[in-house]
Amino acid sequence: MNIHWDLTTEETKPPVPVRKNASSARWTTDRSTADPLHFLELVNLLLRRKRLILTMALCGAMLVFTVGLLMPPKYTAKAQIAIDPPSSSTQAAALPKDEGSIETHVTILLARDHLQHVADNLQEDPQLQTAAPAVRRIETERVADREPRHATSARWLPSPWELAHRLRIWVRGVSSGEPTLNVDELERHLRVNQEGRSRVITVSYTSTDPDAARTIANRIAELYVEGQGEQKRAYTSSELTRLDSRIADVKIEVERSSTAVQAFMRQRLDAAKQASTTRESDQHLQELERQAVAKGQLYRTLLRRQQEIRDLQENITSGAYILSLAATPDRPSSPNPFLFILPALIVFLICGSLLAVILESLDRGLRSEKEINTALGVSCLGLVPQVAEMDRTRRLHQHLETNPFAAYAEAIRSIVATGHLASPFHPSKVILITSSLPAEGKTTLAVSLSVCLARLGQRVLLVDLDFKHPSILRELGGEAGQGIVDILLKNRTPADVIQSIPKLGLDCLPMSRSSFDPLILFDGDKMPRLLRQLRRNYDYVIIDSPPVLGSTETRLLAAMADENLFVVKWGSTPRELAQNALDLLRRPNRAQAQQLRHVSALISQVDLKKQSSYGYGYTGEYFSNYGKASPAPD
């Protein structure tokens, strides 16, 4: 084991996290969900998700605008009715307090009987019959024609039939097809209001047809004024009829009372009575005279009342008059759809921002060295950027030779320098490269690190130990005739199996495809003895192992290696899976000699453009601008 390597890496090794208990697999340093968003982080988050936010805002605004255009414009016509003040001086003195009479007029205007009368009258209007289709169909609703109303149940869990009945109630107005002008329709679109504290009442009606709105508003006001006059004339006529009948009856009673008084007086003169009898007769006579006087006064009062009503009938007024008729509105009263755009933009921008924050909080990927240290409890050697599709005409390890100043090549050299892999002051070592899941870039990194070390003059052996999906020779462009299995199971020598790659300056120990139990290779000391032999012959032995969560052999290999490099795919590997994989690697073995040595992490396939938008301040921001600036003159 290399003491120098352990001393140099001890400085960058993070503190060993303390487990809460012996069986716990979570580290106390994982604060990924506890850190609040700071202002600058929130700004960077919104800038990263600006496409989502702007797309949601524009789509929402266009949706609201389209819905506003689909809604037909509505027009409101207004007619005004003035109420006459009370005619008597007593009522005129109390005029400021007579607000209840105006409210009574408003209530009568909104009464269903009055609206029914308006609907019946509109049915006979030829102008309205030739109007727009929205008001062409007139349907008056009478009590006898209404559908029977079923009482809805108040239970918390209604039956399916009750739910269907409620659905029909609410959908009837939507699915009724062509709108009908009935009492319910008039009530829905009619507004009657008192203008401030005046005696003026405004009748407003809203319709999709401006001519229909004007006609209906005027008709409601005209019929109300006419109805008020007709009610007063009907009242006076009925009152006169009642008074005529009453006056005739009272006249007969007055004549009877006069006759009774005269008859009693004659009877008194003809008979000679005692003193007590005379007193009783006087009392009876006074009573008869009092009744006759009272009936006479009642008769004269009724005659005066009859004359007053006749005089009133000649000069009768409705008590209300039309102050102004409604004109045909030329501009819609419904909101302009263009006014919806700005509020909708603001609302959907806020919703898009909230959605961006929610998506960011639900994102469990790892993207920075700080997140690696915090979530996994290991040091991060660096970030390896992904290569654009246009640059993938060659293998990634070939960029180290053809384009040594590319971002990918610079990242590989940075990892080698950070890990002191090229130091000439330490003996050879075994480096195992693994990941938690497949397709995270571990094989590509293993080949690239091997090529970089070989270019530094080191003796490098690249070993393929991915038993399920061997892919080293696919990257290098060779064919596997024999492999490490032949050395361990068929007693072949390493010199017979190891392939030399002269153009890269390294050797390769491939994995041949065969069906066997990989654990057989770890039975006994065959594998440790082979690794000790390879240490003596090479400066570096780079092992491409299977993913941790997909095989058991990786845990055994990790205990035999001097250095373990754990690859995490940028923004893709969930931190919970990475934590579980590292927990499996850290799980102590029975043999003290097989305890896990140093573990470091690498972030692969980094999107430099997106990485720079996070504002971490790491090398990713440098790589994203690498090569853009022109070199400064010496």
The verdict on 389 and 317 lying in the same domain is: no
Helix (H) or strand (E) holding 530: helix 526-537
The residue to which tokens 């102590």 are assigned: 588
The verdict on 389 and 260 lying in the same domain is: no
Distances (CA, A) of 426 to 1, 417, 454, 479, 505: 9, 14, 16, 33, 21
**Token pair for residue 342?**
């700005």
Q: In sequence order, which residues have a C-beta less than 8 Å from that of residue 564 and are 6 or more positions away?
A: 431, 432, 434, 558, 585, 596, 597, 598, 599, 600
pLDDT recorded at residue 162: 74
**Token pair for residue 551?**
């095989």
The verdict on 398 and 546 lying in the same domain is: yes
State the CATH number of the domain containing residue 410. Answer: 3.40.50.300
The verdict on 319 and 374 lying in the same domain is: no
pLDDT recorded at residue 629: 45
The verdict on 291 and 399 lying in the same domain is: no
In a domain, 209, yes or no: yes
The verdict on 107 and 201 lying in the same domain is: yes
Q: At what angle do helices 275-314 and 210-270 cross, to 10 degrees?
A: 160
**Phi/psi at 178 (nearest 5 deg)?**
-70, 130
Which of 331, 420, 328 has the alpha carbon at shortest distance from 381? 420
Q: What is the pTM of this model?
A: 0.61
Q: In sequence order, which residues have a C-beta less than 8 Å from that of residue 615 and are 6 or more positions away?
A: 40, 41, 44, 621
The verdict on 318 and 401 lying in the same domain is: no
Taking residue 583's Cβ as centre, other Cβ atoms within 10 Å add up to 16
How far is Cα 175 from Cα 582, in angstroms, rounded to an integer?
62
Cα 372 to the center of its chain, rounded Å: 33
The verdict on 82 and 223 lying in the same domain is: yes
pLDDT recorded at residue 60: 94
> What is the tens place of the pLDDT at every residue in 355-387?
999 988 888 888 888 888 888 888 888 888 888
The verdict on 607 and 458 lying in the same domain is: yes
pLDDT recorded at residue 55: 94
Q: In sequence order, which residues have a C-beta less than 8 Å from that of residue 403 and are 6 or more positions away?
A: 409
Distances (CA, A) of 64 to 50, 55, 208, 515: 21, 14, 20, 62
Number of separate domains in the chain? 2
pLDDT recorded at residue 37: 58
Q: In sequence order, which residues have a C-beta less than 8 Å from that of residue 48 and are 6 or more positions away?
A: 356, 610, 613, 614
Specify whether the CB–CB gap between 620 and 369 falls below 8 A.
Answer: no
Q: Which of 324, 354, 384 is the C-terminal boundary of a domain?
A: 324
> Residue 525 burial by CB count (10 A; 0-12/13-18/19+): exposed, middle or buried?
exposed
In a domain, 378, yes or no: yes
In a domain, 272, yes or no: yes
Which residues constitute the domain of residue 555? 366-479+524-624
How far is Cα 344 from Cα 204, in angstroms, rounded to an integer?
29
pLDDT recorded at residue 2: 38
The verdict on 233 and 100 lying in the same domain is: yes
Q: Which of 324, 350, 374 is the C-terminal boundary of a domain?
A: 324
In angstroms and rounded to an integer, the radius of gyration of the C-alpha atoms of the chain is 51
How far is Cα 445 from Cα 624, in angstroms, rounded to an integer?
20
The verdict on 319 and 373 lying in the same domain is: no
Residues in the chain: 634
**Token pair for residue 38?**
């700071």
In a domain, 389, yes or no: yes
- Residue 546, SS3? coil
pLDDT recorded at residue 342: 94
The verdict on 319 and 403 lying in the same domain is: no
Report how far apart the first and last C-alpha atoms of the chain are (Å, whole number): 46
In a domain, 150, yes or no: no
In a domain, 335, yes or no: no
How far is Cα 76 from Cα 329, in angstroms, rounded to an integer?
7
Distances (CA, A) of 305 to 231, 244, 247, 308, 332: 19, 10, 10, 5, 54
In a domain, 157, yes or no: no
Q: Which of 324, 356, 377 is the C-terminal boundary of a domain?
A: 324
How far is Cα 91 from Cα 86, in angstroms, rounded to an integer?
5
> What is the tens place of the pLDDT at every residue in 185-216?
899 999 999 998 889 999 999 998 899 999 99
In a domain, 225, yes or no: yes
Successive 10-residue mean pLDDT values, the chain, 634 residues: 35 40 40 57 84 94 90 91 70 46 89 90 72 46 48 61 71 53 88 91 92 92 87 80 84 82 75 56 77 84 82 73 91 89 94 91 85 88 78 71 82 80 62 90 91 89 88 78 82 86 89 76 84 89 90 86 91 89 74 62 86 64 50 40
